[in-house]
Structure 1
Amino acid sequence: MYYNYIKAFHLIFIITWFAGLFYVPRLFMYQIEAYKKDKNVRGEFIKQFKLMSWRLWYIITWPSSVLATFFGILLILSNQSLLNQNWMILKICFVILLIVYHLKTHMIFLSLQRDKCSYSSNFFRFWNEGATLLLFAIVFLAILKDSVQSFYLLAGLICLALILFFSIKFYEKIRKKNE
């Protein structure tokens, strides 16, 4: 009975965690672009983006990541036979990658808060898609379970990555043309 409540909380916190992971790199990108603005307005933009990213990161993203992980562990403890299933082992591997992605994003966040980030705004356009790829992998594994074949999952992720890559490059050309 409690299993479905735990699953519901797990899903809710996954959604809010990904919301943070999707939006915070956008804020990073805007902050980097603000450094190129006129000196008279640059400071206010940077200050605002730092505040927005701080609130998003510490009030939504970090707590959601901890709670999603906590409820995920509770789900596994409630049904340990999940660990005998290949799809779950693969899903856990992608979740570990998600946690690594989250921690690297945290390091970037800290460097931006100190005005010591050396990444370009274009880097953040690509970085932002890391969470997208991980979301696709995790959701397909969670829904399709053992019916998903590793080769097709990997091929699908590579195709998605290529589509995202070329979309970003196409958008970059349009932006440069309009500047």
Structure 2
Amino acid sequence: MYNYIIALHIIFIVTWFAGMFYMPRLFIYNTEANEKEDAAQKILHEQFTIMMKRLWYGITFPSAIITLILGPLIWFEKYDFTLPAWLFIKLIFVVFLYLYFISLHIIFKQQVKGIFKYTSQQLRVWNEVATIFLFAIVFLAVVKSALGLVYGLIGLVIFIIILMSAIKIYKKIRDQKE
């Protein structure tokens, strides 16, 4: 039974992350629609709202809930309520991932109401946060050691620096095209 639970957990993590990767892109496109003329803006906002609702309520939110249910089942089955150090640190990242998920929900609700508090550039940066969590959580789950954690954190910092640099370079290229 354990292997089936693990398989389902991985499947719902993948679908949850797919939603968290795509949702901010829709936020960006919806925000950039504000730069269009009124008629196009209205059509785009309506379409992006439909897309966001389907993605959020059909894939992202249910996947987050199922992931949250299956994760503890795996922990209790495998570790009998003990908490290895690597798992404790991983769970801290998971808590922050759920906080990130909640922040996406807040932005989603705002945009559905026509409230745009963030620029497309801010949303581009926010879009990469899920990638950082994915990197940290997968490394902890696979390596499962303190030394691996140190290397993983060093790699995570390097990864963040590369990611933020890529965002800045993309912005410069995009600004030059305009």
For normalisation by structure 2, the TM-score amounts to 0.96
Structure 2 alignment gaps of length 5 or more:
none
- 1:117 equivalent in structure 2: 116
Q: Distance in 2 between matches of 1:111 and 1:53?
A: 12
- 1:19 equivalent in structure 2: 18
1:40-91, Cα deviation, whole Å (9 max, x unpaired)? 2110011101110111011100000000111111111212347331111111
- 1:151 equivalent in structure 2: 150
Residues 141, 148 of structure 1: 8 Å contact kept: no
- The number of aligned residues is 178
Residues 143, 149 of structure 2: 8 Å contact kept: no
- 1:96 equivalent in structure 2: 95
Listed as ranges, the matches of 1:8-157 within 5 Å are 8-81=7-80, 83-146=82-145, 148-157=147-156
Post-superposition offset of 1:116:
1.3
> CA 1:148 to 1:71, structure 2 compared with 1: closer, same or farther past 3 Å?
farther
- 2:161 equivalent in structure 1: 162
Matched-pair identity in %: 43
Post-superposition offset of 1:157:
1.3
Residues 21, 102 of structure 1: 8 Å contact kept: yes
Residues 20, 61 of structure 1: 8 Å contact kept: yes
Q: Which amino acid aligns with 1:95?
A: V
Q: Which amino acid aligns with 1:113?
A: V
For normalisation by structure 1, the TM-score amounts to 0.95
Q: Which amino acid aligns with 1:42?
A: Q
RMSD: 1.2
SS in 2 for 1:35: helix
Farther off after superposition, 79-88 or 28-37? 79-88
